[in-house]
Structure 1
Amino acid sequence: MTRTTPPRPHDLLGLFPQLDAQARTAIRLHPRLGEPTVDTSSIGGPLRWPADEPWPVCGLEHEDLCDEPFPDPGERVPEALIPVAQLYYRDVPGLPWPDRFDLLQVLWCPRDHPEGEAPYNPEFLVRWRTARSVGATIESAPVPLVCNENYVPTRCVLHPEAITEYPHRDAQAPGWKALGHGGVWGIIDPFPVACDCGELQLPLLTAVSGEFDGGTGSWQPVEEADTGWEFADPVDVLIGRGYTLQLYYCPAAEDHPNRAVMF
């Protein structure tokens, strides 16, 4: 089912025409409960992961105050990462390096990391792939022994929608999305998200605590206008006290370190 963002309540470009030069495309992912497969884009779903490639584990220090046994069954592996997003380029136009890749996979460690890229948050791992190069795939992914359940996404299928964003609070879509603009600074002072090579990094994936809320109700899809709060938080991930965790990439090269910032 298509999900469509309503027209904006204000003519932002009419008020601030200089913003036109700063327009960026963002892909609202619109995750909804479902049964994704390795052949589909998803949040929290199974990954097209090569059978001959080791499943990644986290080697960072963890804060264990909120840890509890991982809720889903599976082969238990200490510090195993879990799937966060699988995005096929056919569903999410505009992802980086489409001449070389057609599949983006994002995993994270579902525990707090005192000295992680974004302290006291999950820690991301990114894989860029071509789907046809993945031969035999794993039958099932291992799961960690323990986790912070706030960081375990519910399996969701996606209904991607391309929108235009501007560097203004009211012109940035809430919810899980790819690309677009950086978040709205509020927890810490703004700073450039820069790569070690000196290149400014760009948003790749935005993980949030909910699809919309009372302050962002104008972004609720028109197809769900009469559903109240039913689709407000299908992924059921909580970042901090209801914040946003944004993953950045370096446009200079895919193997440069990724950055993460909580807003």
Structure 2
Amino acid sequence: MGKPTGFLDYKRQENEAIEPLSRITNFNEFHPFLDEETRRKQGARCMNCGVPFCQSAIKLKNMVTGCPLHNLIPEWNDEIYNGNDKRALSRLLKTNPFPEFTGRVCPALCEKACLNGLDQDPVTIKENELYTIETAYTNNWMKAFIPSVRSDKKVAIIGSGPAGLALAHDLNRRGHAVTVFEKEDRIGGLLMYGIPNMKLEKKVIQRRLDILTEEGIVFKTNVNVGKDITKKELEKEYDAIIFATGSKKARDLNVKNRDCTGIYDLLRYSEIVWI
């Protein structure tokens, strides 16, 4: 805990939003980062609790609170405050393969569990996370990790959404040869086709895909497994097959006026936008 009184000395300060009349001229992200000094103060607000509920991911009344990835949040908040951004990165990447995604689109269950939120505002955990990974990209710390030893095992992953990419990332780092099959024409699943640019710009996804490709992962697009390639063909070539296809069936809502025109479920809306 770099500053024991940080949560008393500094108030929560979030990334500001670009004025609506300016941001409606494009579809880009519209929350510029805080300056470095202010961000370090936000890291100082973390109390380094004896039991850090922010990273615990406990279930209360069938609802999860806290980080499902068990991110080492107090550790990298402390490093941010002390100016050790590279060490903050090492702690962050220990549990989270893609913080540039979660730092933008995660609902921040960690902040809902932050003890600061009991009597004041919680720590800006999500933005601290995003600051850490973007600082790493800016300083060219994000390098491809190519395993020095390769196994003789080959793995096929069907689906290139967050689950498929995370599996590919971890299995490749363990030395296995990984091939990811995607039926669409671009890799990323709902990261690419379901989340609008204002929340997650496509260049952020492509930046990570370039690293994964350099690490040795093979991506095959426009391949509809089951039609373009059979199960027997996959079993013949690969030692393991992983299904990470996600869901293409939306869950409807039983609410008043649901039958009004112009209301689309998210999956269908995504298809309309991209078509």
Answer with 1 or 2: which has the greater Rg: 2
TM-score (norm 1): 0.26
Higher relative contact order (CA 8 A, sep 6+): 1
